[in-house]
Amino acid sequence: MRYLHTMVRVTDVDQSLDFYCNKLGLMETRRIESEQGRFTLIFLAAPGDQPGAAEKAAPLMELTYNWDPEEYSGGRNFGHLAYEVDDIYATCQALMDKGVTINRPPRDGRMAFVKSPDNISFELLQKGESKAPAEPWSSMPNTGTW
């Protein structure tokens, strides 16, 4: 058995692709439009997870957009998706520069949290050792509850 993807439902394709691709840096690998089911599926991979021909399928996100509007209230049982980053400070700075709120700043040089337009929580974890404490991150307040 191997992990394939995590599916989240989104309410706006353009807003979602702006967050997931332009801001978070994921790349669209496949899209399925279902006229009969009245939905669109968009598969996204992280640059480090690009499905290569010879490699196993990459762990993906699957965005589901239902053409008929629905209300989605995030189940308390869902937590977050986590991505490993090469530089947690540079990643958070780039996200902030693009208007993303860092709900849990990387005060510890290791972990940060942001949210998608549909309030899906993403954990960003520093690859390898934690980075040394650095301003402004060390003194930034949480907007989340972490």
Residues found near ligand LWWXVOTR in the complex (CB under 6 A) = 7, 9, 37, 39, 41, 62, 64, 66
Closest CA to 138 of 89, 91, 95: 89
Which residues does 138 contact at the CB level (< 8 Å), separation at least 6?
107
* Among 35, 84, 123, 129, the one annotated catalytic: 123
Q: Are strands 5-10 and 60-66 parallel, antiparallel or unpaired?
A: parallel
Q: Minimal CB distance to ligand LWWXVOTR: which residue?
A: 39
The nearer residue to ligand LWWXVOTR, 58 or 124, going by C-beta atoms, is: 58
Secondary element (H or E) of residue 62 = strand 60-66
Stretch that binds Ni ion, among 14-22, 25-33, 55-63, 84-92 (CB under 5 A): 55-63
List the single partner that 41 binds among Ni ion, ligand LWWXVOTR, none, CB under 5 to 8 Å by kind. Answer: ligand LWWXVOTR
- How many whole angstroms separate alpha carbon 69 and alpha carbon 56? 35
Look up residue 11 and give its DSSP letter: S
What is the closest distance, in whole angstroms, from the C-beta atom of residue 62 to ligand LWWXVOTR in the complex? 5
Residues between 83 and 102 with contacts to Ni ion, criterion CB under 5 A:
none
Measured from the CB of residue 7, what is the shortest distance to ligand LWWXVOTR in angstroms? Answer: 5
Has 123 been annotated as catalytic?
yes
- List of residues 6+ apart from 44 with CB closer than 8 A: 20, 21, 26, 27, 28, 29, 60, 61, 62, 63
Residue numbers annotated as active site: 123
User: What is the contact surface with Ni ion in residues (CB under 5 A)?
Assistant: 7, 62
